[in-house]
Amino acid sequence: MSRPMMFKQTTTLFLLVLISFSGFAVDPKAYKLGSFDLIPTLGIEQRFDSNILNASSSKQEVDSWITQFKPKITLENNYGGDLYRFAYELDSALYYASSDDNYTNQALTADMKWVLDRYNRFSVSGDYIVDHEQRGDGYSIGFGEYYKEPTQFTVTQADAIYSYGALSALARIDLKAKVRDVAWESLYESDLNVDILDVGNGLNPDEIDFTRWREYSMNEIGATFFRKLTGKTQLTADLSIKNFNYADDPFQPDNLDSKQDGFYLGVEWDSTGLTTGYAKLGYERKSFDSQSRGDASGVRWLVGILWTPLTYSNFDFSTAKQTTEQKGQGNAIDNTFFGLSWHHKWLERLSSTLDIASSNDKYNGTSREDDNAIFGIKANYHMRRNIDIIAGVHYTDRDSNQEVFDYSGLNFNVSVLLSM
């Protein structure tokens, strides 16, 4: 069951869900490296994208074949109840029709968990991610042709969770803390396919870093309280407090610094019957330091239900309403998401997944509103213990009340995941 996420960008999330290598069922062989298991894997994907710039129908659409390579190395050690896991992943793609869109991403991750005793547990994790924003995605939606190449950014983040209370106890609590820093590759007028004649405020466009104001740091503290109702059902209460600090925007006197508070009440269940899931309802308030930006507040929810009517078939429903960071317009994005997946195992080695998802994005502080939809189907053939072959097709559509942001595209792919 896929838990709703804070979306970096809604349609991007949908695509990752549909083609994610993590859905493969290979059973990789582990090699001993001292007290650790060394687990290498390799994902290879060949796909066709009918609209790599996410351009509206009124603009020139560019299609391309794309080859993607994703090697990954994981080091893992399970000792008693403790876990140590470190991983490095490379993600590189080659665009046949547009080499300017080639990219190479990297991710270094670490997860450590300790069981101190029956009542106390502690975990920490950290990530250093070198990622990119494809032309026509995120901040460049509707204007992909103005960028000469994808824009690189890095995410550095760490979080810690202290848990008190036995897992079998009637009540327990998790205390959480998280920090994140997002930094962007500099982008000047010379990196754009457009001449910026005058930006105002006496600023010289040749000396302006147009991604500087996207950078921010975030810190979060929170807690989750669990109260058991039955053996496999529990009530939850979630509280979180986030602070966002943005770099100054040379084009606006009031930046995007804000504080975001959220509180949810819910229930989680893992029944022996047909369903497993969670449902949380709450309220979030995002208030900006600048009074001219107002706030973004309202009722929010998180729901995920896995229904398994047959041992070889299940349905996964998820929905969320949350506030995410803006992408160049407005103060924040109010996102409402609905998704449904059907997973079915036809034969011992053959399974399929059918996905339908939709979302609505309202850009707080502007009149812009986008409706997004994804329809997709994929088949997974588990050839051997260490080989999976996946073939899929999905269609993406974005309908905005501002025509420049309209988009539709067809993507089909064949993927192979290999391990030793």
- Token pair for residue 190? 């010379």
Alpha-carbon distances of 304 from 22, 31, 189, 307, rounded to whole Å? 19, 36, 44, 10
Q: Are the C-beta atoms of residues 210 and 188 closer than 8 Å to each other?
A: yes
For residues 378-382, give the mean pLDDT.
96
**Is the whole model's pTM more than 0.85, yes or no?**
yes
Residue 261 counted as domain residue: yes
Residue 9 predicted with pLDDT over 60: no
For residues 41-45, give the mean pLDDT.
95
Q: Are the C-beta atoms of residues 244 and 213 closer than 8 Å to each other?
A: no
The pLDDT value recorded for residue 271 is 76
Residue 1 counted as domain residue: no
The pLDDT value recorded for residue 207 is 76
Residue 2 counted as domain residue: no
For residues 267-290, give the mean pLDDT.
92
Residue 152 counted as domain residue: yes
CATH label of the domain that carries residue 389? 2.40.160
- The pLDDT mean for the chain works out to 89
Residue-wise pLDDT for 153-174, tens only, equals: 999 999 999 999 999 999 999 9
Encode burial over 136-149: b for 16+ CB neighbours within 10 A, e otherwise: bbbbbbbbbbebeb
Least confident of 20-34, 41-55, 182-196: 20-34
Q: What is the DSSP annotation of 229-244?
A: EETTEEEEEEEEEEEE
Least confident of 272-276, 319-323, 383-387: 272-276
Residues above pLDDT 90, as percent of the chain: 74
For residues 61-83, give the mean pLDDT.
94
DSSP annotation of 387: E
pLDDT class of 189 with cuts at 50, 70, 90: confident
Residues above pLDDT 70, as percent of the chain: 91
Residue 21 predicted with pLDDT over 60: no
For residues 86-112, give the mean pLDDT.
97
Residue 5 counted as domain residue: no
The pLDDT value recorded for residue 199 is 55
In which domain, by residue range, is 370 found?
A: 10-419
Q: Are the C-beta atoms of residues 112 and 124 closer than 8 Å to each other?
A: yes
DSSP annotation of 248: P
pLDDT class of 3 with cuts at 50, 70, 90: very low
Residue-wise pLDDT for 133-146, tens only, equals: 999 999 999 889 99
Report the number of distinct structural domains present in the chain.
1
Residue 66 predicted with pLDDT over 70: yes
Q: Are the C-beta atoms of residues 148 and 100 closer than 8 Å to each other?
A: yes
Residue 3 counted as domain residue: no
Residue 144 counted as domain residue: yes
Phi and psi, residue 15, nearest 5° = -60, -40
Residue 212 counted as domain residue: yes
